[in-house]
Amino acid sequence: MNMKLLHDTKLMFIRNLQHTFRTPVFIFVSMFQPLMYLLLFMPLLNGLGPVPGIPAGKAVDEFIPGLLVLEALFGTAFVGFSLIDDIRSGVIERFLITPASRSSILLGRVLRDAVILLLQCILITLVAIPFGLDVNAAGFLLSLLLYALVGITMASVSYGFALIFKIEDALAPTLNTITLPVSLLSGIILPLALAPVWLKDLSKINPFSYAVDATRDLFAGNFTSLGVIEGFVIIGVMAVLVFLWSLRSLKKMAS
């Protein structure tokens, strides 16, 4: 990575971060869904008694890692709408005719999205502590990297389709069609141990299910488990590939 790309990315990151903090309410609005799951759904798990895949009295320890993956998915899945606004207002076109690196235009945005996501994950985790969350501190810090990779992946998907469609009416249903099945097949809300065999087999082709398994291991302090290695490798590769795809869409727009 050359110095120009680093410099341009830094400028784009600061510009996008400043834009976000001008309306900080949106940072907290996107936390509404996971907080409702924490406050209104998780107590149902505690009331069910023994649940396959969840040790007795450990519902919160199993639920929060998955809930944070849910926040990573939905908290970054719809960032493409802001890109459409910038396309419509001519902001992206003006960037494209400057000497700024094409990669930095997207890198600055996805890094901003990752930073906001990590802030939200930390806040949700702090809220969960009074509910009995017992988390390995080092494991949580390492899991933040995985949440960031999930967020970068979904943000890149959102930006890629925004660059293709350029209208909200097409972007919204596309993103909903993607996020709903991958979240349901990740074992986020309920453990996949409750699922029939065919559903378990289907979940194995969902990369985000590996992220959920990895973060649960990290929260428990199992740093060397196969699930952690699989999670980082699969989501890391996916983040790179999807970002390159969205960057290709940006370069097509510029040509």
Q: What is the pLDDT of residues 175-220, one digit of tens each?
A: 999 999 999 899 887 778 778 889 889 999 999 999 999 999 999 9
Residue 39 pLDDT more than 80?
A: yes
- Residue-wise pLDDT for 127-152, tens only, equals 999 988 988 999 999 999 999 999 99
Give the model's pLDDT for residue 28: 79
Mean pLDDT, residues 102-113:
95
Contact 108, 184 (CB under 8 A): no
Give the model's pLDDT for residue 135: 87
CB neighbours of 246 closer than 8 A, spacing ≥ 6? 106, 156, 157, 159, 160, 163
Mean pLDDT, the chain, rounded, equals 90
Give the model's pLDDT for residue 43: 79
d(CA 16, CA 11): 9
Position 26 confidence tier, pLDDT thresholds 50, 70, 90: confident
Q: In sequence order, what are the beta bridge partners of 14?
A: none
Contact 60, 94 (CB under 8 A): no
CB neighbours of 152 closer than 8 A, spacing ≥ 6? 76, 110, 111, 113, 114, 239, 243
The answer, as to whether pTM is greater than 0.85, is yes
- Scanning the chain, the segments in alpha helix (DSSP H) are 3-21, 25-29, 32-36, 42-47, 59-77, 80-89, 91-96, 102-128, 137-165, 168-184, 197-203, 207-219, 226-254
Give the model's pLDDT for residue 132: 87
d(CA 227, CA 27): 30
Q: In sequence order, what are the beta bridge partners of 51?
A: 54
d(CA 194, CA 112): 37
In whole angstroms, how far apart are CA 130 and each of 118, 124, 216?
A: 20, 11, 19
Position 76 confidence tier, pLDDT thresholds 50, 70, 90: very high
Place of tokens 């293709």: 164
d(CA 148, CA 115): 8
Give the model's pLDDT for residue 31: 81
